[in-house]
A and B are shown apart, each in its own frame.
Chain A
């Protein structure tokens, strides 16, 4: 078996290279992880915005329908018809009293 013994300087240089290589890998991994995290964050924010837009549309639609219903219920035709009906019902009793 052949044993290669490196001189101390070469040993040091190999360690440095290994360190540099590991650091580069680690840095790349970290950057990739950070990019993934940012992308996920971006996606979740876009989802949230999209959801808010949807909720806004739903709320606007609800508001429109409620305003519509309110206006239908309070339309002059409906209210005055009701008032006239009540008046028509009341008139005979009043006239009876007056007699």
Chain B
């Protein structure tokens, strides 16, 4: 089972926190689609088409700056090239691009899950994030999603913003929950170096929210969503029963995926067949449009078992499912040593680890998962 990720690198404007690859000029859209279709076609007959594709994810950038017709061509090309037996076709979209007509057209071409970049309903925060939409559009897009009967959808939210009060967060959560969304991705704001916020932070013009307050926000998000039956199943992902994201969960368990478009990552690992490898393309539209495959690859990593095991622990411990000791051993040849076992034992007593097999963290543990993961993997 494999997934396909397609990166659409266009955005109307630059969000202040975003470090994905994007360009704000929309003029290359036509050329990009033509090039993308060629890239998809280039996989024809390759070993990558033997594996059934269950999930397709259109991410960005902003996929919703493309017309339904352009998206249709892309999805058709994927279906013609790969062995598509699709369970989930997700598309990221922004509130300001959405109309009933557009959503209906997307449904028609096979998109069955929307990931809506709302981030906040608060006008000040939306401005701080430099989002292209306003409060009204944020509310309107959610109304449209219910109205058009989109099979399922997810809403993105960002908390832990500088100066954001718990009241402000509560307000955001209340407004969101009024729509009773099936899935929420709530992220604590990360100030990345190559973003507008990163620059401001460097210049000392930005006061990040202190960790204690971010922790309180985090708790509030988890509690408030849970009250409405939306359970946390990964650090930043929450869903109603049966509504978990299939494509994203594939990343966390090392399912193979093919990335298409500039800056997209691909990962291929077929047990007993191919050595595990990850490659990704340059963050550069010009190189992408030139169509030179060799120029386009930024890096190819041959991954060792050890690296994969570290990755699996790193991603698995972030999920509610956790990671089975047996899976580590059979799939990665990684056996927990004495030190790791007694460390986990002790953390269980401290209320940070919930279960020892599969290894699962409590919410207290999730809050400091990076430190725990580092401790754990450093012991072997």
**Are these two chains actual partners, yes or no?**
no
Q: Which B residues form the contact surface with A (CB < 8 A)?
A: none
Q: Which A residues form the contact surface with B (CB < 8 A)?
A: none
